[in-house]
């Protein structure tokens, strides 16, 4: 009893500290190609030449940027999607150079100061990297958005998808186990012939994605969620790599927060959110990465389901996603991770491309974080179970990688404990997020500042979810068999 009482008291203290986390503004800052000797600005020209579209109209609808006077004319600051103009206070900034995302900084704008000047000073400390190569003309693409009773969010996502600069794409909305006709009515009333509507009566994200996979006609199929706002270049950046690499089976992209208004949103992004950094990377099963001892089973490192694309023929060849995984099933998640590993197991490459950006609306409450933590844990072990059930030949490879993977995990846990300890004392791990003197990390995309300690309650829930995951997967398989029998 005493242990239970202490745990409850600890959780109460964690929630009290959590509720004290203040909001952070979200913005974008383009410091231009010539601001610090960066790229040559060829990216925009490549897009204009290879993939003309409606980017101009999309930009015209965005909030106007702010340009400072002398000394920083190459910099342009604008609020994040759906945000108000930047004022004093804490600001999370996506830094672009000539339109290309290169990193993030977290700064504090003093009262009365020019936000653009303060934030541009931090942004110019980020390395610029190599200038991007011109993009090849992207292949035809289909964007599948699975949704369920969230018409308002869906409309925002569809507006951003229709503003893509890709030259040849379609949008398919999969209405998953609808209770009302709101989604169908929205698509037919507002989007007419521009968006295709498909209904999938059986609940489950993987099932909905498979329904979309069966419906599309394009060379590449991209998936995103109904709670994102896609950058106008998103689809072109995500799909163009398929034209350059015939062995590429999958791509993933960058996911950043659309809003940081609640403690839950700030806490999640403080610990990295969904982003995988700002360095492009190709994962090749023929040349396994030395820093991934569990490869290809460390699928969470590759990307997330809100921003992924597959060569359609390859995804169909592996049978699509396991229908017993994903949100809306007892497995709780893991459908995207399953897809990544199945494609890699077939000898196909996977590429992470941070220039393919979507802005994600993170969950907003403490209870949301509890649900998310448990679901992530369950989805992780559920997808591993699914992989080994569907491809038992992978079991020896998995078992051979476990010792090295456990050692690697212990090392990461030690690093995290050190970082969390520093964060508990109120310091960011790299740079100071309170006085505006430096970026929160010393590498592009290193915004995993851990400024706020991660609650032990959430870690416990994730571990509990991991224990439940295989059980949830088997329950989901049994439920699907029941549905199949009832349909006969």
pLDDT tens digits, one per residue of 391-426: 999 999 888 887 765 665 555 444 444 444 443 333
DSSP states along 366-429:
HHHHHHHHHHHHHHHHHHHHHHHHH-GGGHHHHHHHHHHHHHHHHHHHHHHHHHHHHHHTT--S
Q: Which two tokens stand for residue 427?
A: 């310091």
Output the pLDDT for position 403.
Answer: 77
Mean pLDDT in residue range 129-151: 92
3-state percent helix, strand, coil for the chain, nearest multiple of 5: 45, 20, 40
Q: Which of 233, 218, 244, 443 is nearest to 313 (CA)?
A: 218
CB-based contacts of 416, cutoff 8 Å, min separation 6: 450, 454
Mean pLDDT in residue range 344-369: 96
pLDDT confidence tier of residue 11, bands split at 50, 70 and 90: confident
Mean pLDDT in residue range 334-360: 97
DSSP states along 81-140:
TTPPPP-SEEEEEEEEETTEEEEEEEEEEPTTS-HHHHHHHHHTTS---SPPPPPPPPPP
pLDDT confidence tier of residue 447, bands split at 50, 70 and 90: low
H/E stretch holding 480: helix 456-487
Which of 93-97, 183-187, 365-369, 451-455 shows the lowest mean pLDDT across its residues?
A: 451-455
Does residue 115 contact residue 216 with C-beta atoms inside 8 Å? no
Does residue 448 contact residue 5 with C-beta atoms inside 8 Å? no
Output the pLDDT for position 392.
Answer: 94
Q: Is the pLDDT of residue 189 over 80?
A: yes
Inter-CA distances, 443 with 97, 447, 449, Å = 15, 9, 11
Does residue 282 contact residue 332 with C-beta atoms inside 8 Å? no
Q: Is the pLDDT of residue 236 over 50?
A: yes
Q: Is the dihedral of CA 467, 473, 475, 476 positive or negative?
A: positive
Q: Is the dihedral of CA 166, 158, 144, 370 positive or negative?
A: positive
Q: Is the dihedral of CA 255, 442, 266, 110 positive or negative?
A: negative
Q: Which of 248, 251, 453 is nearest to 353 (CA)?
A: 251
From CA 235, how far away is CA 253, in angstroms rounded? Answer: 10
Q: Is the pLDDT of residue 74 over 90?
A: no
Does residue 272 contact residue 97 with C-beta atoms inside 8 Å? no
Mean pLDDT in residue range 355-382: 95
Q: Which of 223, 251, 183, 196 is nearest to 321 (CA)?
A: 223
From CA 416, how far away is CA 422, in angstroms rounded? Answer: 10
Mean pLDDT in residue range 346-371: 96
- What is this structure's pTM? 0.85
The region that residue 228 occupies, defined by phi over 0 for left and psi between -120 and 50 for alpha, beta otherwise, is beta
Task: Render pLDDT for 309-339 as a digit per residue (tens, 0 to 9).
Answer: 999 999 999 999 999 999 999 999 999 999 9
Backbone angles phi, psi at 484, to 5 degrees: -65, -40
pLDDT confidence tier of residue 82, bands split at 50, 70 and 90: confident
Question: How do 195-200 and 169-176 pair as beta strands?
Answer: parallel
């Amino acid at each position: 009893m005493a242990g239970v009482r202490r745990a409850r008291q600890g959780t109460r203290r964690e929630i009290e500290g959590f509720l004290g986390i203040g909001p952070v503004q979200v913005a974008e800052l383009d410091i231009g190609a010539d601001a610090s000797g960066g790229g040559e600005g060829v990216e925009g020209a490549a897009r204009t030449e290879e993939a003309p579209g409606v980017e101009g109209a999309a930009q015209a609808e965005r909030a106007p940027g702010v340009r400072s006077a002398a000394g920083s004319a190459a910099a342009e600051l604008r609020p994040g999607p759906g945000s108000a103009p930047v004022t004093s206070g804490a600001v999370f900034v996506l830094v672009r150079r000539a339109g290309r995302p290169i990193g993030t900084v977290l700064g504090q704008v003093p009262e009365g100061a020019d936000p653009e000047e303060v934030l541009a000073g931090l942004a110019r400390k980020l390395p610029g990297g190599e200038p991007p190569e011109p993009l090849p003309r992207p292949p035809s693409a289909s964007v599948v958005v699975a949704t369920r009773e969230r018409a308002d969010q869906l409309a925002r996502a569809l507006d951003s998808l229709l503003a893509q600069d890709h030259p040849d794409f379609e949008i398919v909305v999969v209405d998953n186990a609808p209770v009302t006709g709101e989604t169908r009515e929205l698509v037919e009333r507002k989007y007419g012939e521009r968006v295709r509507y498909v209904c999938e009566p059986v609940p489950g994200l993987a099932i909905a994605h498979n329904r979309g996979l069966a419906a599309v006609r394009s060379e590449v199929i991209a998936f995103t969620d109904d709670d994102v706002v896609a950058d106008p270049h998103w689809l072109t950046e995500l799909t163009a790599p398929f034209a350059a690499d015939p062995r590429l089976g999958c791509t993933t992209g960058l996911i950043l927060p659309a809003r940081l208004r609640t403690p839950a949103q700030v806490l999640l992004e403080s610990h990295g959110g969904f982003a995988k950094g700002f360095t492009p990377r190709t994962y090749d099963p023929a040349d396994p990465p030395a820093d991934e001892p569990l490869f290809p089973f460390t699928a969470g490192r590759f990307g997330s389901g809100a921003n992924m694309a597959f060569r359609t023929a390859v995804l169909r060849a592996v049978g699509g996603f396991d229908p017993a995984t994903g949100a809306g099933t007892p497995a709780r998640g893991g459908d995207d991770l399953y897809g990544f590993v199945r494609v890699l197991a077939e000898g196909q490459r996977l590429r992470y491309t941070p220039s393919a950006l979507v802005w994600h609306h993170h969950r907003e409450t403490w209870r949301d974080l509890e649900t998310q933590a448990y679901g992530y844990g369950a989805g992780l072990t559920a997808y591993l179970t699914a992989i080994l059930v569907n491809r038992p030949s992978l079991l020896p490879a998995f078992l051979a990688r476990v010792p090295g993977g456990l050692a690697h995990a212990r090392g990461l846990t030690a690093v995290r404990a050190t970082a969390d300890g520093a964060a508990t004392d109120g310091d960011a791990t790299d740079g100071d997020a309170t006085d505006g003197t430096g970026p929160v990390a010393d590498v592009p995309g290193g915004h995993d500042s851990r400024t706020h300690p991660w609650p032990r309650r959430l870690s416990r829930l994730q571990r509990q979810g991991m224990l439940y995951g295989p059980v949830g997967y088997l329950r989901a398989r049994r439920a699907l068999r029941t549905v199949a029998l009832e349909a006969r």
